[in-house]
Structure 1
Amino acid sequence: MHAAPLALVVITVVIALGFDFLNGVHDAANSIATIVTTRVLTPTKAVIWAASFNFIAAFLFGTGVAHTISSTIIDPRIMNLYIVLGGLLGAITWNLITWYLALPTSSSHAIISALAGAAIAKAGWHAILIKGWIPILAFLLLSPLIGMVLGYILMHIVAWSSFRMHRDKASKLFRRLQLVSAGAYSLGHGTNDAQKTMGIIVALLVSTGYGNYALGHTRLFGRTHEISIWIILSCHACIAAGTMIGGWKIVRTMGSRITPHLRPIDGFASELSAAVTIALATFAKVPISTTHAIGGAISGVGATRGLHAVRWIWARRIIYGWILTFPGAGLVGAFFYAVVHLGIERFIGGGAPIH
């Protein structure tokens, strides 16, 4: 097969980075929700703090999640430019809709579902690699529960350990510790979510005959990666830039509307629990919903004060968004694949997998 038109490939790469940027706007606001709600940092300082750690993550972690996205969820023999383009447009559209509604859905759910919808629209259900979906679905479904359980347990531990401390001294301590936990969460968010876009770009370039621009032995701080350095750095830079723009509507939902009157000790326990949840998934090379990890952790921490301390109506709203995203983003991805197929592929061709 001949390679896809280079100009269209470049445009699709730019759209992928645009999705990464919007992921920062849509998801990375969760990085600052608790630290702003507890008033440890102002929103401006908080987004700078979170964005910095989003980018630093490029130098500290591997690219296992990117490999999972690029080769284990959709049959590489079927993957092509138009599936990627349709999936990206579908995920971006879904994210914009949910951002407008202040509904904290997951960009991870959106991009995976939209790509799957586009692939199914092209080749039917056999385009999906069922084995590769099992760990992904497990983590995507369990991440809120894992975050909730860890948040509940960790909150009890830190509350017990600081029980004898003077109230003002404890507050001062956890205000400082929350800077650490917020940074840890942003590191996890940066590496797991940026790698999803890396995987999409790699799949795009390999399937269209430009794999030499995607693959190569890259060394960063003693770690060797099989993905070209320009992909790694650009994906982290875009998600960090998106974090800088922020998403105040989502911040309000993820923080005070789930558990009102968060204290620094609550914020520390929530962020650290979510960071551990994301780290477990990242080391397992599995994409995870960072939105739902922090949402579950905040709910778990709030539940230590009694179930009445959690505003379950907002927790339910998150769950509704979680449930709707799989079919919703999948259908939007399939729709955009049909649009791309009818509007572009039939006329200029290319885009077919390279064998």
Structure 2
Amino acid sequence: MEIYILAVMVIIFALIFDGVNGFHDASNAIATSITTGALKARTAITIAAVCNLVGAVLGTAVASVIAKDIVDMSAIQPMHQLFIVIAALLGAISWNLLTWWFGLPSSSTHAIVGGLVGAGLASQLSGSGVQINVHKVIEKVIDPMILSPIVGFSLALIIMVILNKLLQAAKIEKQAQDKGFKILQIFTSSALALGHGLQDAQKSMGLIFMASAPVGFFGVTSKTEAIPVEIIVMCAIAISLGTIFGGQRIIHTLGSKITILSPQKGFVAELVSSSVLFITAYFIKAPISTTHTVTSAIAGTGASDDIKSVKWGTLKNIVMAWIITVPSAGLVGFMFEEIFRLLF
């Protein structure tokens, strides 16, 4: 009976993490369109909530990485597995709430990976038989974490430079340009929210899948490969509800504290970010950060005008938050796993 209660607790915490992810990370998808005036805040949040809901049901490859590739817990008892997942979730949720409070756009993706690695490491050091899949962490997490901001910044910079030259050659009035790009932003902002739902809701799917296997919830066993539709729907709803509650602190940071955004820059940043999210989810099958991608793309559009147009001091603070996300969430996960092991 105790293991069933513990499994339910994991599912509840995973859905809470999904909801926190919604109001924490989904603000990344709508910050640019709100700042440029393409959409009013309430409209943007509604569109993002719907698109997050739809995006969450478009794939499960990233969920499988979280569930199976980060930590190997096959050698330990089901109860111990569940305690590790709860410790990981507590680490991720704690870090998300802290960075949200300070308005820092940190990564929920790397918070949960950090939590899993930290909790798994605590268990591994105790001699339990848990193993951190280091090569998979490097391949599926660290490499994309480094590359996605570089790709986001570079693509946004290149596309913005080309777009500026084309607009100058076309001699279209500034007012007409802004109006056209604001309309285009409705579509690119929606695509970005779809990409966020596709990427980020899958982390919670993977965690619920991990919690379900030991107790057989939703028909999941140790041999189950596909994520059940019930888990997909639950996570889709949770991230959508979280999005509805907004994320005004992070919207302000992304919209005005990195560079001065125009409709053209907002369009390019959203176009680049959504493209990177979809490509990594479907082709590379790696859990990348919406936050990292959007922030770097915004900085790239700013740098297309002048390197001084980017507020590098703010960006430095954001990057520092990125760097310490994995170890910070990992430390909390490590601590909770140690506490659970001592108490239970």
TM over 0.5: yes
Q: CA deviation at 1:296?
A: 0.3
Aligned residue in 2 for 1:71: 68
Provide, for residues 119-161 of structure 1, a one-character-per-residue CA deviation record: whole Å limited to 9, x for no partner: 1101139621122112221111221111101111121232233
1:210 aligns with 2:216: yes
Query: Is contact 2:56-2:202 (8 Å) kept?
Result: no
2:100 paired residue number = 99
1:99 is displaced (CA, Å) by: 1.2
The aligned residue for residue 353 of structure 1 is: none
| Distance (whole Å) between structure 2 residues aligned to residue 157 and residue 54 of structure 1 | 31
Q: How far did residue 280 of structure 1 move? A: 2.1
Match of 2:200, SS?
helix
- Paired amino acid for 1:300: G
2:153 is aligned with 1:148: yes
Moved more, 80-89 or 125-134: 125-134
* Partner in structure 1 of residue 33 of structure 2: 35
Are the structure 2 counterparts of residues 285 and 211 from structure 1 closer, same or farther at C-alpha, using a change threshold of 3 Å? farther
1:56 and 1:157 map into 2 onto residues whose CA distance is: 32
1:157 has 2:165 as partner: no
Which amino acid is 1:69 matched to? I
Deviation of 1:215 after TM superposition, in Å, equals 6.8
Q: Name the amino acid aligned to 1:46.
A: A
- In the TM superposition, what is the alpha-carbon distance from 1:308 to its structure 2 partner? 0.7
Residues 90, 329 of structure 1: 8 Å contact kept: yes
Q: Which residue of 1 aligns with 2:241?
A: 241
Shift of 1:326: 1.7
Q: Determine if contact 2:120/2:334 at 8 Å carries over to the other structure.
A: yes
Alignment partners' CA distance in 1, 2:6 and 2:49? 30
Q: Which residue of 2 aligns with 1:291?
A: 291
Tell me the equivalent position of 2:176.
169
Report the alpha carbon displacement of residue 276 of structure 1 after superposing the two structures with TM. Answer: 1.3
Residue 100 (structure 1) shift: 1.2
TM-score by length of structure 2 reads 0.92
Q: Does 1:189 align with 2:196?
A: yes
Residue 140 of structure 2 corresponds to residue 133 of structure 1: no
Q: How many residues align?
A: 332
**RMSD, aligned α-carbons:** 1.9
Which stretch has the larger CA shift, 76-85 or 299-308?
76-85
**Greater helix proportion:** 2
SS at match of 2:149: helix
- Equivalence for 2:46: 48
Which residue in 1 is equivalent to 2:229?
229
Gaps of 5+ in 2: none
Q: In the TM superposition, what is the alpha-carbon distance from 1:7 to its structure 2 partner? A: 1.6
Contact kept? 1:57, 1:191, Cα under 8 Å:
yes
In the TM superposition, residue 168 of structure 1 has moved relative to its aligned partner by 2.0
The separation in 1 between residues aligned to 2:321 and 2:176, in whole angstroms, is: 39
Q: For residues 161 and 2 of structure 2, what CA distance do their matches in structure 1 show?
A: 56
SS of match in other structure, 2:106: coil
Aligned residue in 2 for 1:331? 331
1:181, distance to aligned residue in structure 2 (A): 0.7
SS of corresponding position for 2:72 = coil
Which amino acid is the alignment partner of residue 331 of structure 1? L
Aligned pairs for 1:340-355 within 5 A: 340-343=340-343, 346=344
Q: CA offsets, 1:286-322, max 9 Å, x none?
A: 1001101000000000000111110011110111001
For residues 240 and 217 of structure 2, what CA distance do their matches in structure 1 show?
Answer: 26
> Secondary structure of 2:39's match?
coil
Q: What is the CA deviation profile of residues 185-208 of structure 1, one whole-angstrom value per residue up to 9, with x for unaligned ones? A: 1111001000111011111212x2
